[in-house]
Amino acid sequence: MSSLRQRSPKNSPVDGPLKRIDGVQSGETSRSNIRQISTPIKILLICGSFLLAIVTWTKSIGSINADSQTLKPYALCSKGDNAVYTVDRNNSVTQCLLILNARISDTGTLDEISTRWRSHHPQVSLSGFQFLQLLQSPKLEVKYIPDNAIVVPGLSDSHGHILEYGASRLLPLEGTKTIAESVTRVRNFVLSHPDIFNDTSRLVEGWGWDHTAWPEKDFPSYRDLEVDPVLRGRQISLQSKDGHAQWVSEATLKLMTPLPEHVEGGLIVRDKSGNPTGVLLDKAQDLIKRPVLTDTDLLQRFKLTVNDAYSKGITSLHDAGFDPASLEFYKRQTEYGNLPIRIYGMTYFDEDAEYWGDRRSKIINHNRLTARSVKIFADGALRSGHAALFEPYTDNPGSSGYMRIDREKLLSFVPKFLEDGWQVNIHAIGDRANSEVLDVFEASLQNYLNGANISEIRPRLEHAQIILPKDVQRMAKLGVIASVQPTHAVSDMWYAEDRLGPERIKNLYAFRTMIDAGARITLGTDFPVEALNPMATFHAAVTRLSPDGRSPRGSDGWFPEQRLTRVEALRGMTIDPAYASFSEKDLGSLEPGKLADFAILSQNIMTVDQDKLLDTEVLATVIEGEIVYGKI
């Protein structure tokens, strides 16, 4: 994104220094000389001056963003009641936006913005001649949204995985109800792609299986894939729904041999005889041999994600873990101009590698790409049973999960990143993981940064799922942002109490507790773990119900006391993500001077019955005043 710049109008000849013609200054031309000019020439001179004035006036309008294509100014208005939700400090609702050169120039009623528009574009007087109505104010086009529709700031997802989401759309396994159904989907995918079917050495990749939704409740095995003759002998790697487990085939396992007995921060699942079953957890997934992806592969995945995001009213995405290849891919894309969508990237940090925060350059608002933060994993996931807890899992008393990185390494790296100006975003799900990460943030702020202004560094807890009440208070006091995912709550609620027990469950997804303590939250989905759908996020946040209106605790919602208000939910998808990505001066609300990123929704999500929220459609998505999806 480009900075706000005004283009200075060029001086027209009549505004420049006086010139002498035949020894006489043009300003001293006598009346006799004027009389000697013929009438046709007089007309030409007058017309020429008039045209020069038009050119000068046109340039004087200026360009707010000199790097973006100049758009024709327009007003976007509701016909009846005010329907433009600005999400400003007062959560104002107004009738119109005025869009000028990629930014919001004005807000208010149609009469108000029209009056102000005309007052800034008066008629022009030329060389003492008053040309009444020869030069009108530029016509302001007014576009109206449909009845019942509303305008909201461009929506943002604060936590997801862009290229992985695109990959997940190629062979989706989400929603399969059994191991056999998952195997059948993989088989059908191979059969329907001749290039893959005819190349048995090619790695087949899929995403989305969820053993907690299967009757077996157990992890699958490589043997389940070998049963099918089409799949037997092929390299297959299937990512779990939560992204923390891989189910691989026997051929894939063989390429990984010899396997280590122990993986720090991960686990190779083994049977009773000690043999690998074909499931790899967390850092053990790094053992899989994968082909190097080409730009064609990456671009295919990127386009799938962007198109889905557009259709959901999303204009900004936070990518929770750039690997080196994906970061270089995005940098190459910016060489051709603006990215099609705003990306705020967290660069993945391998704790076994050397510290790089003092050597690598940050990318800030370069053609819609920002990479100024680092992503660190503290623990595993709740769904796979490896989030780090203080006490053992209720449904697995032999395990309390594990930390993927120890406290000493966190204390070594986190202060350095903060001192070198990087935002630090740490994945923490279990109560132990969240507590230890807060210890590190607290020590960093007090011992290394001398109580630096928290708004300058804005550390984030990614997920912040299970947090003890005392740590919620500490999070708020420290100013740590909680990046949370409401759709995780309504997905996990069906098994979470069995896993954590009736008391510990009260500290899971406690969003209201966080806000009431004074903590700042920002909302996302963790796509492709959950659907890339802000309306699903909004519904889950304000209802604590599944999409079909159910919960294990009744129709009022799963722990309904933790619901957000609709205003809080909307802010959590607009201005809060902007703050969490240091972009609140340009994004997150519809106010004069900010970039014209917005979405038009088919109905008023702030007032419609909650059972109709998920019927909301996106009519248009607009980035910098330009329609990228739908129509106005």
Q: What would the pLDDT profile of 571-612 be if each residue is shown by its tens digit?
A: 999 999 999 999 999 999 999 999 999 999 999 999 999 999
pLDDT, tens digit, 9 for 90 and up, residues 295-308: 999 999 999 999 99
Query: In sequence order, which residues have a C-beta less than 8 Å from that of residue 511 and are 6 or more positions away?
Result: 484, 486, 489, 521, 541, 562, 563, 564
Q: What is the mean pLDDT of residues 129-136?
A: 43
Asked if residue 40 has pLDDT above 70, the reply is no
Quote the CA–CA distance of 456 and 38 in Å, as a whole number.
Answer: 69
Choice among 2-6, 44-48, 75-79, 615-619 with the minimum mean pLDDT: 2-6
> What pLDDT does residue 74 have?
97
* Closest alpha carbon to 312 in 628, 632, 97: 628
pLDDT score of 12: 31
Measured N-to-C along each axis, helices 431-443 and 407-419 cross at an angle, to the nearest 10 degrees, of 50
Q: Say how far apart CA 495 and CA 488 lie, in whole Å.
A: 12
The tens digit of pLDDT for each residue in 380-429 reads 999 989 999 999 999 999 999 999 999 999 999 999 999 999 999 999 99
Q: Is the peptide bond before 552 cis (omega within 30 degrees of 0)?
A: no
Whole-number pLDDT of residue 242? 86
Is the pLDDT score of 179 beyond 60?
A: yes
* Across 19-40, average pLDDT: 38
Cα 228 from Cα 46, distance rounded (Å): 86
pLDDT at res. 451: 61
Cβ-contact 511, 485 below 8 angstroms:
no
Q: Average of pLDDT values for 512-528?
A: 98
Domain residue limits, the chain = 163-287
Q: How confident is the model at residue 70 (pLDDT cuts 50, 70, 90)?
A: low
Q: Provide the pLDDT confidence category of residue 1 given band limits of 50, 70 and 90.
A: very low
Query: How far apart (Å, rounded) are the C-alpha atoms in residues 115 and 552?
Result: 56
**Residue percentage of the chain with pLDDT more than 90:** 79
Residue 58 has pLDDT above 80, yes or no: no
**Mind giving me the DSSP string for 56-95?**
HHHHHH--S-TTSPPPPPEEEE-SSS--EE---TT--EES
* pLDDT of residue 121 exceeding 50: yes
For the chain, percent of residues with pLDDT exceeding 70: 86
What is the pLDDT averaged over residues 423-444?
A: 98
Average pLDDT over residues 166-191: 95
Class at the top of the CATH hierarchy for domain 163-287: alpha beta
Tens digits of residue pLDDT in 308-323:
999 999 999 999 999 9
